[in-house]
Every structure is written in C-alpha cells, then in structure tokens.
Structure 1
C-alpha cells in the first residue's frame, strides 16, 4: 500500500526497441526515436522515451500490486484539485504480456530539478529564497485537498480507505515499528525508547487538535519535482512538474516538510530551511499562537520519524556520517532542536 516503505527495488532492465514501439502504438504515441534510463529514475523503474509526437516517461515493473493504479489515481485527482502540473494523461497498461510487467506512460514534464548544476551555478541567494517560499506555497496548495478521514488509496477497492484506528494509532505505530527495526542493525537502548515514547506522549494533544486530514505526498523532495521560471523576477519560479505518488496518503501535511528541510540542512543552507518552514508555518497558522505551537510539536514528531529512518538505514548499510558512538536520542534531539529553532 501507499504508506509502506520499500527499500528493495524492481528495476525494469533492458527493454527491446520493438516491444517499446508496440507499447507506444497501443496508446497512439507516435514512432519511437530514442529511449534511455532516466538519470534519477525512481528505483530504476523509469525510461525517458522520445517519439515523433514528443517525450514521455515509461514507468514499469511495479513494486507491489496496485502501485501504478495508485499513482494514476493521485495524478488524475491532483489535476482536478490543484493547479500544480502533474503527469496527465497517465496511461496505464495492466496487461503483462508485452513487456513482462504492467507499465504506465505519461508525458515528460518540462523544467529542471533544483539540484541541476545549471541551476545551482546561476541561482542567486534571492532566487534560492524565493524558490524555498514557492515550495512552501505549493505544499499548502497540495494540502488543501481534504478528506473526511485519514487513510490511503486502496487500488483493489478503488477508493480511499481510512486507517485502522485513528491517524495517531497509525503514525505512532509506524514510528515504533521502525524504531524497533533499527534495533536489528544498531544499539537502541531502553533509554532511547523511553525518550521516543516521551516525545510521542507529549505530542498527543497537538495531533488531537489537527485540522481535517489532507493530501500528503509523503516524498516531497527535489527528485520528485521540476521547476521553471515564468517571468523575469526572482519570485517567478514555479513547480512545472510534480510526480511519484507511491507514498501518498491523507493525514497531517506537516509531514511533507521534512525532506526538503533535511536537504537544506545537509547542504549547509539553514537560511533556506528557515525560509521554507517559516513560510509554511505562517500560511497555516494565520497569526494563531496556539496553532503555531501545535504545528511545531507535530513537526517535531515528523522530524523524529525521519531521523529514525535515516538512523536505521545508515546503520544497516554501514554509512554512518556522524559520531558512531552517539546515542540515538542525543543524535535525534540535536537535529530536531536545530530545525525547530529556525521557526522559534
């Protein structure tokens, strides 16, 4: 389902020219001219395809049954609920006879990734800050898509299904699951677990006062959107394409702030992290001091969840980039405090 985390991958491997041409014919997408693996493709699942009619992205060999149906649903619905460009039409072929797996073909969206070297060498600080603000505004637009109950899209039932129990049950259960999983690869002490439980307990009231559940992309990061400048001013940058909705669900939109924040912090750009977070906070708080406090508390929990995943993966793959003997609670608390200080 959408909210599961997959560390494995199903790469599409080599695709025969003739088979790909036949796949294009099924959707009347022209004569195949060229194709190659995308440079930052999602887990090796995507091809950039050029035909006589234009450029397309083919995504195939899904990680789980229903992955492409989910993405099709979210792409189609976001096209209705927001003005942010998404890959529609999202053309889906469920039959596996031709390529050996089901696949989707969608238009290649224009623009560049924020990490693109041609952007990084030309963007001034003022434009970088305007882009950070623009990304916060874009998230607000995404999060305005509201549903009655927190949950996820079920491709079998073809509808949004509420989580079993409450949103808090699901979120806290997921956090505790990955904390215990991290124990398989690292030292997670009873003190660490007690500290995490204390953070979760402290945040219960903030989540209880959470607004109506809204769309959460679940993986809002530079790899999953492209941007374009639509005018001559520093503030004229826009998201020109948003994609990859494998981990999307409905809950607390604050969760979508963590990955861009982590990127800015990792690149030693705390001023951009501050601009991004502060812009979002001001839009959702509307000068309500209590709402701002609740926002900060909920953000702290989502940052904690992210730290657990980062810790577990780094320990499991032996790619630790911090003091190896630092206790988890100390390491996580330092990071969370450093982020929350940016909006204090």
Structure 2
C-alpha cells in the first residue's frame, strides 16, 4: 500500500491505515489524502472518501497540569475537549462548526487516537493573503463577518468559568474565576520568559492584573480566534464565516478574550478594519479586563518568538512593554 509523510508530527501514513479508519467510523471507501500546509502543529490531513470530504486530526498534544514541570502524554485530553466544545456550539448556536466530529480513542491504526470531521466549505486566509487577494470592500466585509460570528459564538454561555482538567478529562471550574485565571496564566508566561521580561515589566503586568476586577458574563471563548482557524465564503454579495475549527484552547470565560487576536492582527496590517470588526461584534468591553487580556495574549507570542530556538527578528531590539503598549493603546482607543 502507498505510504506518505503528511507532516513531521503525523509521520508516514499508509492508504491502508486511512482505509481502516474511515471504515471503522462508517465514512465509506477511502479515495485519497492530501497534506494541509497551514497550521502550526501539523495535526491535520485532508481525506476524501466515497461519502465526502473530511479532515483527519491526529497525534494529540501532550499536557501539563498546574503542578507539573514537564509535559506528559495524555491522549484523551485534547480531542475529548475539542469534541465537547464543537458539540456545544453546534447544539446551542448557529456557529458553523465541523459536526459530527467522530472520535476514535484507540491507537491501533495510527499509534494515536484521532478525530475525523467534515471539511468546512470556503477559503482559509491569513492576515497576509487577505490583503493580497481581496479588494478593500471585501476586506471590510470579512472584518464585519468575523465580528458577527464572534458574537454568535458567545450565545453559548456557562454558569461557571472553566476548562477541561488534564486528569479528570472533564470541565472543571476555575477556582479564581475567569479574570483570575487569565491573571494566573499571564504570570505563568512571565515566569517562563525569565530575563526576557524585566522586573519593571513584571510589576507592570501584575498591577494590570490586580486592578482587572471580577467576572462578568461567562461565555464560550475560542482563545485562538483568527483568520487562520476559520473558513470564509462569499455568499449573497457579502462574506460570512463558513467554518470554525481548532478548539484545543477553548474554554468558558470572558468573551472579550476573543477580540484580542483578531483586533491586534488588524492593528498590525490594516488598522481601520479593527473598528469594523469591533462594531460588528457590538458588545461592551471593560477597559481593565481588555488591558489584562492584551497583555496575556502578547505574552504568549513574546514567550514563543523571543525564545532562542525560534526567535523572530522583528522583535529584536524591542522590550516587551514597548512592543505590547501600542496594542493596548490601540484597542483601548477603539472601545
């Protein structure tokens, strides 16, 4: 049987393995597979069967609990969590998610468990390709579509703020609440950065967390809501979000968390679109919460892209505060 490497993470996979997987899940006869070049982790493969077009997602992330120093293998966590949040969105909102999301928890076919889900219609763009391929009017329509879709996602609410526990593999409440959990997460990234965050910067971040206050309405939060994790379709003279995926960071928290990644991307590439996005979203945002959420999001990026193993030359010579402050100022000016 033909074999091919579909990504460094997934390794070499044979047609017989794909055939076994789709037959087990009742998806017809295997016809073909193609690698997906986008995405940071290389977990996904396009699969075509006699029943349609699908995405296979495999090799789940390892996990690290609150008291753990190292990541360890726990194959149940990522895909159980992703399926849960996709199902909740499917059942309680009109958000276009890949459903049904079929989960085979055994590892006898590939060496790891996997999901198979429908391939969502439309095109997948990022901040660069949307500028290159779409006219200004289309880009404005896309920005508005992102805001409307975000508001629709947040029709899914919860009585508690929380995430899936890495031991229980079930939804667990944050003991410190939604805002407190982000303050804790930000401090974790500060510690991970070491001397790439100065003492003055750490004090500044801690002060922002201290004044952020308590929780408001708790909604679904994707935590990586951006162009690269959705598909878009031009329909009836305007653009709409036609698919949302990659739920591995999803949780229940303050919905304002999800404006940050898109809005900061627009501040970098086309600032006028940030206003269109936020107007279409149409919800009030607490300035103190937003400041903390921007800091936390930028810390994630700073932690990764200033690390010696994958340093981004665009950040060379900058301090964290100098780099992050313009995003805080830019978003606060828009709300």
Partner of 1:34: 32
Residues 322/154 of structure 1: CA separation in 2 closer, same or farther (3 Å cut): closer
Q: Which residue of 2 aligns with 1:298?
A: 289
Following the alignment from structure 1 to structure 2, what is the Cα–Cα distance between the partners of residues 129 and 88? 29
Residue 31 to residue 182, structure 1, CA distance change in 2 (3 Å): same
Unaligned runs of 5+ in 1: 1-8, 286-291
8 Å Cα contact 1:114/1:120 also seen in 2: no
Q: Could you say if the C-alpha distance between residues 38 and 323 of structure 1 is closer, same or farther in structure 2, counting changes exceeding 3 Å?
A: closer
Shift of 1:328: 2.5
Q: Given that residues 38 and 46 in structure 1 are in contact (C-alpha distance below 8 angstroms), is that contact kept between their aligned partners in structure 2? A: yes
Superposed displacement of residue 115, structure 1: 3.1
* 2-structure distance, mates of 1:117, 1:304: 24
Give the structure, 1 or 2, with the largest relative contact order (CA under 8 Å, sep 6 or more): 1
Determine the C-alpha separation between the residues in 1 that align with 2:207 and 2:221: 25
| RMSD between superposed Cα atoms in Å | 2.2
Specify the alignment match of 2:226 in structure 1: 221
Alignment correspondent of 2:44: 46
Per the alignment, residue 195 of structure 1 pairs with: 204
- Pairing 1:308–2:299 present: yes
Tell me how far apart the structure 1 counterparts of residues 216 and 264 of structure 2 sit (CA, whole Å): 25
Structure 1 residues 74 and 340, CA gap change in structure 2 (3 angstroms): same
| Partner residue of 1:321 out of 314, 317, 325 | 314
Q: Which residue of 2 aligns with 1:284?
A: 283
Provide Cα deviations, 1:138-168, integer angstroms capped at 9, x if missing partner: 1111112111110013486564220123333
Q: Map of 1:1-344 to 2, 5 A cutoff?
A: 11-41=9-39, 43-64=41-62, 65=75, 66-115=77-126, 120-121=131-132, 123-154=134-165, 157=168, 159-184=170-195, 186=196, 188-204=197-213, 208=214, 210-231=215-236, 233=237, 236-267=238-269, 269-280=270-281, 283-285=282-284, 292=285, 294=286, 296-316=287-307, 317-322=310-315, 324=317, 326-341=318-333, 343-344=334-335
Range moving further from structure 2, 135-144 or 120-129: 120-129
SS in 1 for 2:275: helix
More divergent stretch after superposition (57-66 vs 123-132): 123-132
Query: Is residue 224–residue 249 contact of structure 2 (8 Å, CA) maintained in 1?
Result: yes
1:120, CA displacement in angstroms?
Answer: 4.9
Q: Unaligned 5+ residue runs, structure 2?
A: 1-6, 63-74
Distance in 2 (CA, whole Å) between partners of 1:276 and 1:116 is 14
Q: CA deviation at 1:128?
A: 1.4
How many angstroms does 1:213 deviate by? 0.8
May I ask how many residue pairs the two structures share in their alignment?
Answer: 314
